[in-house]
A = this chain, B = another copy of it.
Amino acid sequence: MPVCGVPDNLYVGREYEKGTQDLRGLLKGASDAKFDFVVVSLFEKPRADKPYDHEGQYELQPSTISDLSLDSKTWSSAVVGKLSDCVNMAEAYTPAARERCRQAFEQELAWASHLGVYGIVLPPPQDASCHLYAAALGRVGLSGICTSQLMIRIPLLQEQVGVQVDGWNTWNRCRLLCDQSARLQVALELTADLPETDMELQRWLAEPVRAVFVPADSFLTNKQGFPVLSKRHKSFLMQLFRNKVQIILQGLPEGPGSEGETDKYLHYTARLFQSRPAPTPQEQFELPYHDYLQAPLQPLQDNLESQTYETFEKDPVKYVQYEEATFRCMQDKLALGKKNIVVMVVGAGRGPLVVAVRSAASRAGADVKIWAVEKNPNAVVTLKHRKLLEGWGNVEVVSEDMRYWDAPAKADIIVSELLGSFGDNELSPECLDGAQRFLAEDGACIPCKCTSFLTPVTTTKLWNDVKNYNDVAHFETAYVVKFHQAFYPTSDI
């Protein structure tokens, strides 16, 4: 049973180092200890007298004997299978031996697919260049023999030929060599030593990390003798929780009498997960929009719907600031001796700016005439209704496109909220330029200018979504996105 949380639950698995022929018994034990799934090797180590570079036909050695060990529902919900090290081509010095390794890899993948296991874990690439590893992956793993997702196990820090390397570089190289296949995921191993900078940790947050191996030896022991994680380990894990990772506890004590020890690790993990603050209503509302490509609104071309107006009107900051700006502008006008102020709200929608202007006028004690110009006939229905219902005596509702409206007077103040998510993507210059005709010579526009900001971002999920369209156009399209699994590689300028 998963660890309950809001908005999602945590699934915790346990890795067993030794193979077993009694998979059912193993699962029973893990389930009794409240683990959700187990991680086991699906294959026997090749016998010393028959290594991969042995001559002749390779013969598959499933460690779990046959698929009948479990029913298919259990295979697909409770067993994550590890493949052998053959994909690393270790010690395969001849082309024939390499071919044999690839054969072994192909048969292993086919068997794992046949079982329909919950997850497939590939061993960490042993060679920094990843060439042979990625070639085997591309030719076999991603070619159609198996259609499941594949997790590559990547330690945060890895010893490779005597040098300590950052696992992200290995993953990145491997991923690039496999043409960024969306079927590759990461099973990240939380090593006892972490990379030096937080930047090196943070960039994992944009990667497709599906599971995190937490080895028993990455835990410290606190004064009470309980296993705990260091502050840095803890905070990194908390960030990973936000990306809905699964946890796999690794290297726990095995054998009779070890249940109590094991339980401490699981308990600590569950408590850590549940210590996350509950999401605010705002965060809850945003959940379904995380990392999802949204087409920007086209309010000039399409009439907005009632629901869209309603969402915009909920903005807790914007209209307060608009009222304040309009209030000050009116004070300036009054100070210059102006008696009657003409305000034009262009793109009035259902009236939030009209309300802000009326409220500013009443605070400033100004005598105003307001023109509410709106081209969406459905929003005009609402404006007219509010004029009646709320007694907007000084408001004239105009059902026109501001670009073509024949204004009966010059405006002292033009108020608009046409700005898009990024600068002018809702065509505000095209519309507002048409409205300049009726701005008085000493008139003011609110807002009078705007600035857009740019930053590069790493986001594997969205990049793949765009890539799936299979054309250049979508890479050159602007989207509105609530980023979640993202990494910002640069600091502010």
Chain A contact residues, CB within 8 Å of chain B: 60, 62, 65-68, 71-72, 75-76, 107, 110-111, 113-116, 303, 305-307, 309-310, 350, 377-379, 381-382, 385-386
Contacts and interface: CB of A to CB of B under 8 A. Distances in A.
Contact of A378 (B75, B110, B306): B110
A107 B377 contact: yes
Nearest to A351: B68
Q: Which of A67, A72, A75 has the most CB of B within 10 A?
A: A67
A60 B377 contact: yes
A310 B71 contact: yes
Given A67-B382, A76-B307, A114-B379, 15 more contacts: A66-B382, A67-B350, A67-B378, A68-B350, A68-B382, A68-B386, A72-B307, A75-B306, A75-B307, A107-B377, A111-B378, A111-B381, A113-B305, A114-B305, A116-B307
B385 A68 contact: yes
A-B pairs with lowest CB-CB distance, top 9: A66-B385, A114-B378, A72-B307, A67-B306, A66-B382, A72-B310, A116-B307, A114-B306, A72-B306
A62 B110 CA distance: 63
Contacts of A305: 113-116
Do most interface residues of chain A lie in helix, strand or loop, or is the interface mixed?
helix
13 contacts: A60-B377, A65-B385, A68-B385, A71-B310, A110-B303, A110-B377, A111-B381, A114-B303, A114-B379, A115-B306, A116-B305, A116-B306, A116-B307
A16 to B, nearest CB: 21
Contacts of A72: 306-307, 310
Contact of A60 (B75, B110, B303, B381): B381
Q: Which of A62, A65, A306 has the most CB of B within 10 A?
A: A306
A239 B441 CA distance: 72
A65 B386 CA distance: 10
